Amino acid sequence: MAMTVNTVFRKYKDRLTLEQIEDFKESFDLFDEDGNGSIDFHEMGKVLESMGHKPTDDDIRNMMREVDTNGDGSVDFDEFCVMMMTRHAEFSHDSLDEELLEAFKVFDRDRDGYINHKELKAVLRRLGDASTDEEITDMIAEVSQRNDNRVSLEEFKLLMSE
């Protein structure tokens, strides 16, 4: 049975706000590309990539084993929330990380876990910065460790902590 936001909220209300669970649901739905209510092996690879990792197949298998508590071979919304709570707890140890996450969300307009050229350009324009497309491309290239023309949350955090 697929868990709803309200069901998960009742289960974890002592540890998460409704807003956090709604954010998790939005993220879950982005990664659940086929819309079947669970995240499979391929989709989990994208989750890990969005967290700034370069996962191997073994990394993905290990994460699936760790998170898939009911053993059905995929990650449902409840299991995803547990994974995100763990990840969120890592962020919560330092309020700076929370602030960086919120700042990252300002740039990541499409909520895909990355800041791309178009998103960076839009924010820079709103701030009155007239950087050229070439300069914006260079900014992203300096930060992107994967050379994929986009910036992950982990890369953003590294940039901001310099």
Mean pLDDT confidence for 105-127: 89
Residue 92 has pLDDT above 90, yes or no: no
**At residue 12, does pLDDT exceed 90?**
no
**pLDDT at position 87 over 70:** no
56: Cβ–Cβ under 8 A, 6 or more apart, which residues? none
Q: What is the pLDDT of residues 36-57, one digit of tens each?
A: 999 999 998 888 777 777 889 9
- State residue 8's pLDDT score: 64
Interatomic CA distance for residues 132 and 34, integer angstroms: 37
Mean of the per-residue pLDDT values for the chain?
A: 82
Other C-beta atoms lying within 10 Å of the C-beta of residue 74: 19
Tokens 């023309």, residue located: 149
| For residue 91, pLDDT beyond 60 | no
What's the CA gap between 61 and 53, in Å, rounded? 14
Model confidence, pTM = 0.51
Question: Which pLDDT band holds residue 72 (cuts at 50, 70, 90)?
Answer: very high
Mean pLDDT of the region 75-92 = 75
